[in-house]
Amino acid sequence: MTQTLCAIVVTFNRLHQLQITLPALLAEDVDHIIVVDNASTDDTGTWLAAQASDRVRVVSLDTNTGGAGGFEAGMDYAKSTLDPDWVVLMDDDARPQPGALATFRSETPRLESDFPNLGIVVAAVFYPNGTLCEMNRPSRNPFWNLGLFAKTLIKGTRSGFHLTDAEFAQDAPAIPIDVASFVGYFVHRRAWEKSGLPEGGLFIYGDDVLYSLRLRRAGFAMAFAPMIRFTHDCGTMGDGFVYRPIWKIFYHCRNGVSIARQAAGPVIFPLALAYYTVIWWRRGQHCDGTERQLYYKMMRMGLIDGLLRRRGRKAAVHDLSQALAPSAPKA
């Protein structure tokens, strides 16, 4: 029996990207498309209202809940209204390469045979120029494997536990992983029925990592399938993996505390957090002047809120960012 597939796209004030992604999805083998409009203030709502298709559903939110809130809302709508077998998640600037969803359908029986209790399938993600998209490079959890942990300490995070370039070859076999991003991220209904939806209160960053770890801890297999390929036309990182605008560092660090806690467990958590804190501090050295000052302020605020397990969009972060860096766009 054919399994139903629902694509979920979260958008906020990037109509030019959505106008590429939605047609790309409509050209694919997908049963339903949910577009979550995260309270956009551009012409997104008007444009979406004019897109007549029985496959497209629009979920319009009253406030900007970030990518995390958008994915939670989209999956909740899919679960309660459409009840698909699979959903596939993506940002508005990400889209399947031609034939990717048909490939997913054809590969699913084999993947379910090779990976018992399969809950998540992850696509290979590339920039528009064909190079690997670093921010979407899947990984394994080094805290669950002593060999990976030692390799990470010696070689660093990129070489230690992230997948290698060779594993992205189109003819490479599917392999087990532990963590992936919400671009080309396929979730089976058995996973959300047992483990729930992503945590919308995270606003942005880390929601995909924490959801991945939660599903893996629940016993679901996660398969990286490089023959399924997506494109991500993103540009939020500058030199040294520093997010732009700088206010995003707050959420990266705040939610990163939860990631360290979930990935490492209570015993190793303090050491894991110390390790990540050093990495975040070093990245701040790529900033200059006022931007560096703002980076470390955001980092400190994020660490405090993370340790206190706070959630949601923090208005003070955005206000401070505007005060110290007036040219930074609002969120």
DSSP lists the bridge partners of residue 10 as 36, 91
The whole-angstrom separation of Cα 199 and Cα 208 is 9
Mean pLDDT of 172-190: 98
Could you give the domains of the chain?
A: 5-232 (3.90.550.60), 239-324 (no CATH)
User: What average pLDDT score do residues 9-36 get?
Assistant: 98
Rounded-to-integer distance, Cα 320 and Cα 291, Å: 12
Spatial separation of the C-alpha atoms in residues 148 and 194, rounded to whole Å: 29
Please give the mean pLDDT across all residues of the chain.
92
The answer to whether 88 touches 8, Cβ cutoff 8 Å, is yes
pLDDT tens digits along 47-91: 999 987 999 999 999 999 999 999 999 999 999 999 999 999 999
pTM assigned to the model: 0.92
User: What is the β-pairing status of strands 221-232 and 94-96?
Assistant: antiparallel
Chain segment 144-164, per-residue pLDDT in tens: 876 766 666 666 555 567 899
**Per-residue pLDDT tens for 81-136?**
999 999 999 999 999 999 999 999 999 999 999 999 999 999 999 999 999 999 89
Residue 240: which pLDDT band, with cuts at 50, 70 and 90?
A: low
Q: What is the DSSP string of 205-255?
A: SSHHHHHHHHHHHTT-EEEEEEEEEEEE----B-GGG-BSSTTHHHHHHHH
What CA–CA distance (Å, rounded) separates 275 from 269?
10
Identify the helix (H) or strand (E) that includes residue 187.
strand 185-188
Rounded Cα–Cα distance for residues 39 and 65 (Å): 8
Nearest to 85 by CA among 155, 141, 34, 32: 32
Tens digits of per-residue pLDDT, 244-300?
788 999 999 999 999 999 999 999 999 999 989 999 999 999 888 888 999 999 999
Q: Give yes or no for residue 237 having a pLDDT over 70.
A: no
Considering only CA atoms, which of 62, 75, 84 is closest in space to residue 10? 75
Pairing of strands 185-188, 118-126: antiparallel
CA 232 – CA 130 distance, rounded (Å): 10
Residue 164 burial (10 A CB sphere; 0-12, 13-18, 19+): exposed
Closest CA to 7 of 77, 86, 83, 119: 86
- Greatest Cα-to-Cα distance within the chain, rounded to the nearest angstrom: 60
CA angle, 40 then 42 then 46, to 5°: 90
